Amino acid sequence: MPEITYAAALNRALAEAMREDPKVLILGEDIGSLGGIFTVTDGLLAEFGPERIRETPLSEASFMGCGIGLALCGWRPVVEIMFSDFLTMCMDQLCNQAAKLRYMSGGQATIPLTVRAPIGARNSAAAQHSQSPQAWFAHTPGLRVVLPATPADALGLLATAIECDDPVVVLEHKLLYGEKGLVPAGRHRVPLGKAEVKRPGTDLTLIGLSRMTQIALQAAEELANQDVDAEVVDLRSLVPLDRETVLASVARTRRAVVVDEGVIDFGVTAEIAALISTELFGELLAPVSRVGALATPVPFSPPLEKAVIPQVEDVTAAAWKCMQGKPTR
């Protein structure tokens, strides 16, 4: 198995999809000669040409709509939005159009659209280039939402997303683009809606997604040094959500900490905590703990950014409280 970066894995998924299916094309800003500001489309213009590596004006609403129209006509467009924060520019097209056209047309419309966008705080990019808005899209029926945490999942989830006949929002973490990992050499697909147990354990379950899965794994190592055996589950998909894997893990450990980089209030962690609390009410040894970004815009100055974004120590602290049966946020 070759070891490649998360960005290179996404690049490979795109290139393989475009070689396999002439109906796959990419729309986005700076995706041509620059290769995307995070290098994900590097080299694709040279191989596939400007018709299929289609650089757009700075018109997110219109090129998102353009992707929807192409999808209605049998293409499999991949729309790259430079930062997930810029999805606000095309919320109508994504949430009122792509998400609803199939439903409103009684099943006549099929929209095999993939939307890629980077999330997460990185390097003091401040409040309009650092958000983790996954809850917005998971809250919109009609969209599928996936968040790869590793290079192998980046390859496998993006490949599956492009082949999916529904609109799929693939949220990639900016701090993961440079992370390396082993990736299968041949054809690789990760089904949508399958969580993965990244680390088995018996004392409690840490549930993460995207980069927070990596943070949870680091926290699990620290907890292991103090004789706490944490299981780590990576959700990988929010829609569809793999309820079975989450509940099976927590049914065994009877303690859960949910970690997400999105704003904690009304967010992903609340949904997962509600699921666990509802289904396993009588069996839990502690209230479900939640760790997420503070309910502020993401600040600029490094110590402020660090204060808002979940850190390893926040996860270990929540885990200890959970072990003691105390409620945390």
Partner 1 sequence: MKYLPAYRKMLLIRRFEERVAELHRAGLVPGFAHLYWGQEAIAVGVCHWLRDDDHILSTHRGHGHCLAKGADPARTLAEIMGRATGYCRGKGGSMHVAAFERGILGANGIVAASIPIATGVALASGLADDGRVTVVFFGDAAVEEGPFHESLNLASLWHLPLLFVCENNQYAISVPVQKRQGGRGAAAIAQAHGLETRRVDGNDAVAMLEASQWAVQRVREGKPVLLECATIRWGGHHSAQPTRRYRSREELQAAQAACPLARLEKRLIAQGEATPEELLEINAAIIAQVDEAERFARQSPFPEPGAATEDVYATQEGSG
Q: Which of 78, 121, 161, 171 binds partner 1 (CB under 8 A)?
A: 161
Tell the burial category of 46 from Cβ atoms under 10 Å away from its Cβ (0-12, 13-18, 19+): exposed
C-alpha distances (whole Å) from 256 to each of 155, 205, 229, 285 are: 29, 5, 12, 9
CA torsion through residues 253, 191, 264, 278, sign: negative
- Catalytic annotation present for 60: yes
- Smallest distance, Å, CB 104 to partner 1? 4
d(CA 225, CA 230): 11
Q: Which of 2, 43, 69, 184 binds partner 1 (CB under 8 A)?
A: 69
d(CA 154, CA 162): 12
Instruction: From 56-64, 271-279, 305-313, 316-324, give the range in contact with partner 1 by CB under 8 A.
Output: 56-64
d(CA 42, CA 281): 49
According to DSSP, the residues that pair with 116 across neighbouring strands are 80, 170
d(CA 238, CA 297): 23
Complex with partner 1: residue 74 or 282, whichever CB lies closer? 74
- Catalytic annotation present for 129: yes
Q: Which of 29, 153, 166, 305 binds partner 1 (CB under 8 A)?
A: 166
d(CA 211, CA 3): 18
Site for partner 1 in 192-211 (CB under 8 A): 192-194
104 in contact with partner 1 (CB under 8 A): yes
Q: Which of 80, 234, 242, 314 binds partner 1 (CB under 8 A)?
A: 242
Find the catalytic residue in 29, 60, 80, 261.
60
282 in contact with partner 1 (CB under 8 A): no
Helix (H, G, I), strand (E, B) or coil at 168: strand
Give contact residues for partner 1 (rule: CB under 8 A): 51, 56-57, 59, 61-75, 77, 92-93, 96-97, 101-112, 141-142, 144, 160-161, 163-166, 189, 191-194, 240, 242
Instruction: Tell me which residues are annotated as active site.
Output: 60, 129
